[in-house]
Amino acid sequence: MKINDIEKFAQNIESKIFFDYDVKHLNWFNIGGKTQIFFKPESLKDLKEFLKLYKKRGKIFILGAGSNILFSDKLFEGVVIKLGKNFNKISKLAEDKIIAGSIVIDRVLSDFAKENAISGFEFLSCIPGTVGGGLRMNSGCYGSEFKDIVLSVQAIDYKGNIITIPSKKIKFNYRESDLSNDLLFLSASFLGKKSNIQDISNKIQKFKKEKEISQPSKIKTGGSTFKNPINYTKHKVWELIKQSVPENTKFGDAFISSHHANFFVNKKEAKFHDMMMLIDYVKEQVKKKFNINLELEIKIIK
């Protein structure tokens, strides 16, 4: 991919553009090689101009907190875009409405809602992603998902056009939305319910405690590797894995968490290949034992 013009463009803008940039430290798994271009837009103007110049000549990947992705070790032939701090703003639009930039961390949005006595955002205190990642994944836990609070999404397409999509035009399903893959979300507005801070705080504490018990923390993981099978409700996916695969299964440094069988862990220096071997092996064993085709929740980026 030719990038001379982008190198020139990089010298004339405030935002940072890096070349041959390591993605390993940009994701929770701590796995991955380099991307040809890493762009951190600090303004809408720079972002728009970049997209118009880039013209989809290579791949485009939009990165949030990197808590749901597994990057390949091979060179990513394109651009990884991660919104800069100017997209990290959050404010109250009305008594029960909030607008948040796409790079706002879910926990921060949850805290902001609490401080403003708006309920409905408590579940976000348990998800380590950003607003952008949550919109794409329809992330959720404890009976709530993004779809329950989103009012509208503001986005930019890869030609540089800005659009607003009302939530009624978005189809949210279990851990996915039909928002076009050719969109970068800039911000979203949310609707909650007026409540009181103490009730909200109690709910958050309850969720956090449950999370602490049910999921491992302080590990290099992408969270739930597979989705729970929709048409098979007898067992959760972690139970299917536990019953199909020995607990100490590993490939290189890629392990299954002893705390939660659907969390795969990079214990030290696992490579992309190790993690893929583990993923494929688990898929195969669950298919053999239960005749169920597991679907990935984490996104593989290559």
| Catalytically annotated residues | 175, 224, 297
Rg of the Cα trace of the chain? 20
Question: Residue 65 corresponds to which tokens in the numbers above?
Answer: 């907190």
Q: What is the DSSP string of 278-300?
A: HHHHHHHHHHHHH-----B-SEE
Indicate the residue among 86 and 117 with the shorter CB distance to ligand FAD. 86
Q: Under the criterion CB under 6 A, does residue 84 sit at the interface with ligand FAD?
A: no
Q: Under the criterion CB under 6 A, does residue 126 sit at the interface with ligand FAD?
A: yes
Indicate the residue among 166 and 246 with the shorter CB distance to ligand FAD. 166
Q: Under the criterion CB under 6 A, does residue 64 sit at the interface with ligand FAD?
A: yes
Task: Yes or no: say if 218 and 255 are a contact pair by the CB < 8 Å rule.
Answer: no
CA pair distance 75, 302, nearest whole angstrom: 8
Place of tokens 């001379």: 4
Stretch that binds ligand FAD, among 4-12, 89-97, 127-135, 194-202 (CB under 6 A): 127-135
Stretch that binds ligand FAD, among 56-64, 161-169, 190-198, 227-235 (CB under 6 A): 56-64
Sites for ligand FAD among residues 196-225 (CB under 6 A): 221-223
Q: Under the criterion CB under 6 A, does residue 70 sit at the interface with ligand FAD?
A: no
Q: Under the criterion CB under 6 A, does residue 136 sit at the interface with ligand FAD?
A: yes
Out of 15, 35, 36, 102, the only residue in the binding site for ligand FAD (CB under 6 A) is: 102
Q: What is the DSSP string of 150-214?
A: EEEEEEEETTS-EEEEEGGG--EETTEE---TTEEEEEEEEE-EE--HHHHHHHHHHHHHHHHHH
Q: Which helix (H) or strand (E) holds 251?
A: strand 250-251
Cβ neighbours, 10 Å, residue 126: 21
CA pair distance 3, 253, nearest whole angstrom: 36
Q: Under the criterion CB under 6 A, does residue 32 sit at the interface with ligand FAD?
A: no
Q: Under the criterion CB under 6 A, does residue 41 sit at the interface with ligand FAD?
A: no
Out of 51, 100, 141, 237, the only residue in the binding site for ligand FAD (CB under 6 A) is: 141
Question: Residue 28 corresponds to which tokens in the numbers above?
Answer: 């929770």
Sites for ligand FAD among residues 175-194 (CB under 6 A): 184-185
CA pair distance 73, 69, nearest whole angstrom: 13
What CA dihedral angle connects 252, 72, 23 and 215, to 10 degrees? -60
Indicate the residue among 143 and 246 with the shorter CB distance to ligand FAD. 143
Out of 23, 31, 60, 69, the only residue in the binding site for ligand FAD (CB under 6 A) is: 69
Q: Under the criterion CB under 6 A, does residue 67 sit at the interface with ligand FAD?
A: yes
- What 3-state class would DSSP assign to 86? helix
Sites for ligand FAD among residues 220-249 (CB under 6 A): 221-223
Question: Residue 215 corresponds to which tokens in the numbers above?
Answer: 């999921």
Q: Under the criterion CB under 6 A, does residue 63 sit at the interface with ligand FAD?
A: yes
Out of 137, 150, 237, 286, the only residue in the binding site for ligand FAD (CB under 6 A) is: 137
Distance from first CA to last CA of the chain, Å, rounded?
A: 15
Number of residues that bind ligand FAD (CB under 6 A): 30
Give me the least distance between CB of 236 and ligand FAD, in Å please. 13
Indicate the residue among 118 and 179 with the shorter CB distance to ligand FAD. 179
Give me the least distance between CB of 224 and ligand FAD, in Å please. 6
What is the binding site for ligand FAD (CB under 6 A)? Answer: 28, 61-69, 102, 126-130, 132-134, 136-137, 139-141, 184-185, 221-223, 299
